[in-house]
Amino acid sequence: MKTYHLIIAAAVSLLLFVLTGCAPKNPTQAITGDAAAKVYVAPGKHDEFYNFVSGGFSGQISVYGLPSGRMFRVIPVFSQDPQTGWGYSEETKPMLNTSHGFAPWDDSHHIALSTTNGEHDGKWVFINGNNTPRIARINLKTFRTEEIIEIPNASGNHSSPFLTENSEYAIAGTRFSFPLDYSGATVDVPINTYKKNFKGTVSFISINKESGNMAVAFQLLLPGINFDLSRGGRGPSKDWFFFSCYNTELANTLLEVNASQKDKDFIMAVNWKKAVQYITAGKGKKVKRKLCTQCI
């Protein structure tokens, strides 16, 4: 047994020698003259920028520091997270309820940081749920999801959430057109009546200036084209929103071929300030729809 202990002790001594012998005299020696020096952020120092990255089918948000590339946090949003208990606890499980039942996953594509006068103000970050049409709001003081709202009259939520210049509204366009009757309810109709019965919608989600709480303010009923991406104007165009789209052919079979016949699709421009004026004047139509909104 004595021999065994002596061998272990000798090995440990040798290991300590190797580790101390190879260590640089100061941390900068390890990166001097290397490309890593350009992105090195010393312990205790802050990155200049922070990158909020959508997680796709993970349904979450990742936060990275730049230029270091360090991942600081994964923020649970639309999917359950065993590590933090998100979506399992009594407090957070209701956050994943929808009008279709419990939906503990989603496909998240786009992130929007709240703005004041077109500049990021560090209050909130918003992200879309593409599969079950939802928008979530994350508080940037706590880096925690505070609210998830479901969007009615929508089939997919890809072109979302895009913000007005002072974060008065988040804008969300339905990814696919779908049949609506005059009550707003989804109905079954023959696919060969696509051009007549299928419609698109763009939703305006109001954002409370103080609390950030969201609500469906109004929706625009549009022809049955599919909306892809959007951008809110800034400066001279701050009253406008611009949408890209596809399937202006209004095809409903062999979409890879028939929805690609035209060389170019449309750009839709919406004066959202004018739309708000019409709604305020009572020129819209009220429709009852089941809607889920969950807050912490």
Task: Quickly list DSSP for 33-66.
Answer: TSGGGGT---TTPPPSEEEEEE-BTT--EEEEEE
Answer yes or no: are the C-beta atoms of 194 and 255 closer than 8 Å: no
pTM (predicted TM-score)? 0.82
**pLDDT at 285 exceeding the cut of 90:** no
Give the rounded distance of the alpha carbon of 282 from its chain centre: 31
67: in domain: no
- Is residue 291 a contact partner of residue 150, using CB atoms and an 8 Å limit? yes
In a domain, 39, yes or no: no
* Whole-angstrom distance, CA of residue 290 vs CA of residue 152: 7
The whole-number pLDDT of residue 9 equals 34
The verdict on residue 20 lying in a domain is no
The answer to whether position 11 is within a domain reads: no
Mean of the pLDDT values across residues 257-263? 86
Domain annotation covers residue 24? no
- The dihedral through the CA atoms of 245, 246, 249, 252 has a sign that is negative
pLDDT band at 275 (very low <50, low <70, confident <90, very high): very high
The reported pLDDT for the residue numbered 61 is: 97
pLDDT tens by residue, 103-120: 999 999 999 999 999 999
CB within 8 A of 294, min separation 6: which ones?
Answer: 94, 95, 96, 97, 147, 148, 149
Gap between the Cα atoms of 159 and 222, Å rounded: 15
90 assigned to some structural domain = yes
Mean pLDDT for the chain overall: 85
Domain count, the chain: 1
Does the structure show a pLDDT above 80 at 127?
Answer: yes
pLDDT in tens, 4-13: 333 333 333 3
Residue among 103, 209, 130 nearest 166 (CA) = 209
Higher pLDDT, 246 or 73: 73
Residue 222 has pLDDT above 50, yes or no: yes
Cα 176 to Cα 173: distance, rounded to the nearest angstrom: 9
Question: Residue 268 maps to which CATH number?
Answer: 2.130.10.10
Higher pLDDT among residues 186 and 121, named by residue: 121
What integer pLDDT is reported at residue 143 of this predicted model? 96
Q: Which residue's entry shows tokens 């200036």? A: 209
Using alpha carbons, select from 3, 64, 68 the residue that is nearest to residue 40: 68
pLDDT above 50 for 279: yes
In a domain, residue 8? The reply is no
Tell me if 194 is assigned to some domain. Answer: yes
Residue numbers of the domain that contains 260: 76-295
The alpha carbons of the chain give a radius of gyration, in whole angstroms, of 26
Average pLDDT over residues 196-201: 88
